[in-house]
Structure 1
Amino acid sequence: MEIIILIIIGILFVVPSFMAMRKQRKRQNEMQALQNFLQPGDAIVTAGGVHGVVRSTGDKDVELEIAPGVVVSFDKMAVIRTEEEANSLERPAAGDVKNDAADNLPDENYPPFDGQEKK
């Protein structure tokens, strides 16, 4: 009887871990495929949240146009998703934010940061 309980407890820990590893491995393979097959004109998002259009690719780097006439170089590993995937992500609506707007106001005991005196 004790052996059955130990087996059940073992399964309860092993199966969820295995499923999480499979999901992570699948996401890594998708990212690797995206990074390997980048083409000029692809709209992508980097790990830092920079949105850009691929202008050229190399073995380890990719040049992104992030604004008209502004091209920056990123490591291919920084590319994590396409623009379409980023736009389809679920994000909380502005009204769902738990912070109170009053908490973000400057404290009356401290002067403003711009060097101006309070009136």
Structure 2
Amino acid sequence: MQAQQGGDQWVSLVFFGVIIVVFYFFMIRPQQKKAKEQKEFRESVKKGDDVVTIGGLHGKVSSVENDDTIILEVDKGVRLKFEKSAISAEATKRTQTPAAKS
């Protein structure tokens, strides 16, 4: 009976290890990839890009003041200053819809 209990511990340990690996590949890794893509996008923002802020405000980049700050034009003559970290995504990618099937 003692040998059987030792085997059960190994099975439990292997099962727990498999759960950790699955959790990493389905939860942590995709989040890291998305964060990396967002960081690269924020660093590549340039004048004229249509963007969406994390608050849902849509606008066009009017100017890039420095490494951390941009000016968004949200309407004719209305410009707002934002941190680059407040940019969520490129608006043209979010608003694109698949072509209608004929």
One fold, TM greater than 0.5? yes
Given residue 57 of structure 2, which amino acid in structure 1 is its aligned partner?
V
Given residue 38 of structure 1, which amino acid in structure 2 is its aligned partner?
V
Could you list the runs of 5+ residues in structure 2 that have no partner in the other structure? Answer: 1-6, 98-102
What TM-score does the superposition give when structure 1 sets the normalisation length? 0.68
Given residue 86 of structure 1, which amino acid in structure 2 is its aligned partner?
R
- 1:70 alignment partner in structure 2: 78
- 2:67 alignment partner in structure 1: 59
Return the alpha-carbon distance in structure 1 between the equivalents of residues 84 and 49 of structure 2.
13
Count of matched residue pairs? 88
Deviation by residue 1:8-43 (Cα, 9 ceiling, x = unmatched)? 13312x023212111011111111111101110000
- 2:100 alignment partner in structure 1: none
Write out aligned runs for 1:1-119 (5 A): 1-2=7-8, 3-12=10-19, 14-19=20-25, 20-57=27-64, 58-88=66-96
Aligned residue for 2:62, secondary structure, equals strand
- Which structure shows the bigger proportion of residues in helix conformation? 2
Write out the 4+ residue segments of structure 1 that deviate beyond 6 Å after TM superposition.
Answer: none
Aligned residue for 1:55, secondary structure, equals strand
Could you list the runs of 5+ residues in structure 1 that have no partner in the other structure? Answer: 90-119
What TM-score does the superposition give when structure 2 sets the normalisation length? 0.78
Q: What RMSD, in angstroms, separates the aligned Cα atoms of the two structures?
A: 1.5
